[in-house]
Chains A and B, each alone.
Chain A
Amino acid sequence: MPEGIFCNKKAIDTREQLNVVLGDTGGKQYYEEMNHLDVDKDALWATIQKTFKSRLKTWLEICAHCGLCAESCYYYLANNRDPKQVPSYKIQTTLGNLIKRKGDVDNTFMQMCMDTAFSKCSCCTRCGVYCPFGIDMGIMFGYLRGLLFSQGFTPWEMKIGSGMHRIYKAQMDVTTEDWVDTCEWMEEEWEDDYPGLKIPIDKENANIMYTLNAREPKHYPQDIAEAAVLFHLAGENWTVPSEGWEETSLAMFAGDWQACKMQVENVYAAMERLKPKRMVVTECGHAYRATVIEGPYWAGLKTGKPPVESLHYVEWVAEALRTGKLKIDPAKKIKEPVTYQDSCNYVRNGGLADIPREIMSYIAEDFREMTPNREHNFCCGGGGGLNGIGRYREQRNIGFKVKRDQILATGAKLVVSPCHNCWDAIRDMEEIYHLGIKWTFLKPLLIDMVQIPEHLKPKEE
């Protein structure tokens, strides 16, 4: 069967193809064509032989089928403990079988793998924490997604997302011009409230290079302004690059390893160009993981670290509050009960569990931990790209139940969620389940709470 116009094995790397696929409303024709997509068994097996190495091999083999991973998985819990949702079952019936059959599988099987990899797993890696052998099914599903991508079995929105990264070096169609213009616009708009506010672009040797999520300039530019204001009030010597400013990676969710590499190389190139002392990433979980933790391996950096010391936004905030660069007005601390969403990618996978607690100690009077919390906290339900995939909306909404119940159990009225995906997930959760809660990023909270140094206050009229 010839490959489809919309759905095929080729990654999207031209604007024309991107617009073609975008134009297919809801991916209708895309998924229709997917039903006729052949599996290139030779290529698949060849890829597996090159990339499926000892760690994954061992994991698949030594699984004792003990079932301890079952209760660690929120899909299992949310779906009434359906045995088919046990992580070990999920991975053995997909990747496990794929290996056993040496890639000799058909379209139906591959689509089943896609449905499992994208709607029954958000790669939160919680199972890996609870498995006695440390077998991480989240990581294995990430690997499986890569195999699926190479064969064209990727959800519509993910295919588009990775295409965006290839073409625009960002997850949305924001050109360098748009980006720079938006920075200038925010500077103009917020200058009155914060005289002297600047968004320096391409400044060399700054202390901090700040990178973001493309949806901020695209739809939520005030996020950029808020970040600028906080750096300004903290007296930071900072900059943003005109290129390499976007550090998210839908390509990572899509399993497009090549695009992952291209994307992080773009950011690292900016680091090499501008030579900042450190990089700070906006409030986005997977961006941190992609650029700071996984990225060096994609880009082949022998140190396993990015060229420049890189921080998640919460680390910068904690430091600023700790050192007094930002001072909180005690009268403005959060009085209502508030809880914190531990995003998988920078808490469990990034090891930053202590930092949020430190931040909350400065800004909240009634902080309630979720149960469980820190590295043991559950995924918001929308990770791994799931928030954006229309085809799996229902499965996602069911998966929300675990996080929903966690939040309700705290009795909190506000959820602090410094991660774009978690923020979206909680918003959608609120729309569906009407919990009566509010949720927020850190930036708008801090803007309201910090004391403005005298010399930065606007002149009285």
Chain B
Amino acid sequence: MFKRILFATTASPSCDNAARVAFDMAKRYGSELIVFHVLGIPSRGFSRFVTDVRTGEIVTFDDDYLGWVKEEMKNTYAIQLDMHQKSRIEALPGVPHTEILRAARKRDVDLIIMGSTTREEDDGTYTYRSATGSTLQDVTKAARCPVLIIGRPVASVWGGFSNIVFGTDFSRSADSAFLFAYKVAKTFGCTLHLFHAYDISAIHSGKIMEQDEIEDNMIEAREKIRKMYIPRLKGFDNYEIEIWEGIPYVEIVKFARENYADLIVMAHHTRKPSSEKTLLGSTVEQVVLRATCPVASVNRPDKIKDI
């Protein structure tokens, strides 16, 4: 299903859950797996000093240090690397999200797998160029292929599941996410839940909606799903449609939990978020932090068609 997978790791325990999924998937599909570590942000202009992302120390980057980092990575993933021969380790200095995206584009990868640490950004990150954002935010926004994010320990790994939740906001990016969710569901013969969370978070700014209004909108959403997605489920009938009202990310996480979802697929918008949204984090980011299963962030159709 995926010819080439890029597993972006900090090579520390926070990525262990993601590592398990990455190696398991690669083995299952005979994919080429690139275990990719961006070891530090180059500082001091053009000099060889690099701030190591794991230790926070300033190190002088040279071949020896690189060799040492790779050795460490080999030790961390010794067992997995042994089991799956088509994998290789790469490490280089740079701004993490830049190098991950650069490599993903250059190697034409079909899937990026990342762990989500609970406190990815420290205060310094804001000031490294453009928007606030963790590596995760920047990668999911710009990646041309789906990004699978594993934040919590995953009980069942890829291939052994039964429920996929596709959360939609009816955007064009959601179309790509839908395609991905559908293909995966079809391949594994599992149930596809098409879910929409009707946003009533305006309630916090004092706006109270009439119940009739809410329910009318929910019915409308259900119709929309029927029109937009169902016709494309050619001959596939193992699906359910559900609309819940509330704060979108909360509802999605709840719904996924209630239905024992093994995977949540959502669209990540490629549009640059306004600064308020950046502070709160988009719905995808909130879901990633809270869901008990992996979340696939999809925003472009490019690599999905190849699946």
Contacts and interface: CB of A to CB of B under 8 A. Distances in A.
Interface stretch (A82-90, A106-114, A266-274, A384-392): A384-392
Contacts of B62: 22-23, 25
A25 B48 CA distance: 9
B63 A389 contact: no
Contact of A22 (B45, B48, B171): B48
Name A's interface SS. helix
Contact of B44 (A221, A387, A439): A387
B129 A222 contact: yes
A389 B130 contact: no
Given A157-B46, A388-B45, A439-B127, A448 B94 contact: no
Given A221-B98, A222-B129, A226-B130, A193 B48 contact: no
Nearest to B64: A25
Which range holds the interface residue count of chain B?
Answer: 20 to 34
A224 to B, nearest CB: 11
B270 interface: yes
B272 A193 contact: yes
B95 to A, nearest CB: 6
B237 to A, nearest CB: 28
B101 interface: yes
Interface stretch (A36-44, A142-150, A361-369, A420-428): A420-428
Given A226-B130, A388-B45, A192 B271 contact: yes
Interface in A264-294: none
Given A23-B62, A222-B129, A444-B129, A215 B46 contact: yes
Contact of B45 (A182, A387, A431, A461): A387
Contacts of A25: 48, 60, 62, 64-65
A143 to B, nearest CB: 23
A157 B95 contact: no
Contacts of B101: 185, 189
B129 A448 contact: no
B174 to A, nearest CB: 9
A219 B98 contact: yes
Contacts of A448: 275
B49 interface: yes
A219 B47 contact: no
Contacts of A164: 46
B126 interface: yes
Interface in B109-167: 124, 126-127, 129-130, 142, 144
A347 to B, nearest CB: 20
B42 interface: yes
Closest 4 CB pairs of A and B: A388-B47, A192-B270, A388-B45, A461-B172
26 contacts: A22-B48, A22-B62, A25-B60, A157-B47, A161-B46, A171-B46, A185-B101, A185-B102, A188-B144, A192-B271, A219-B94, A219-B95, A221-B102, A226-B130, A250-B46, A388-B44, A388-B47, A390-B47, A421-B45, A424-B43, A424-B45, A431-B124, A438-B127, A440-B127, A461-B171, A461-B172
Given A193-B271, A222-B129, 8 more contacts: A22-B62, A193-B270, A215-B46, A223-B129, A421-B45, A424-B43, A438-B126, A461-B171
Interface of A: 22-23, 25-26, 157, 161, 164, 171-172, 181-182, 185, 188-189, 192-193, 214-215, 219-223, 226, 250, 387-390, 420-421, 424, 427-428, 430-431, 438-440, 444, 447-448, 458, 461
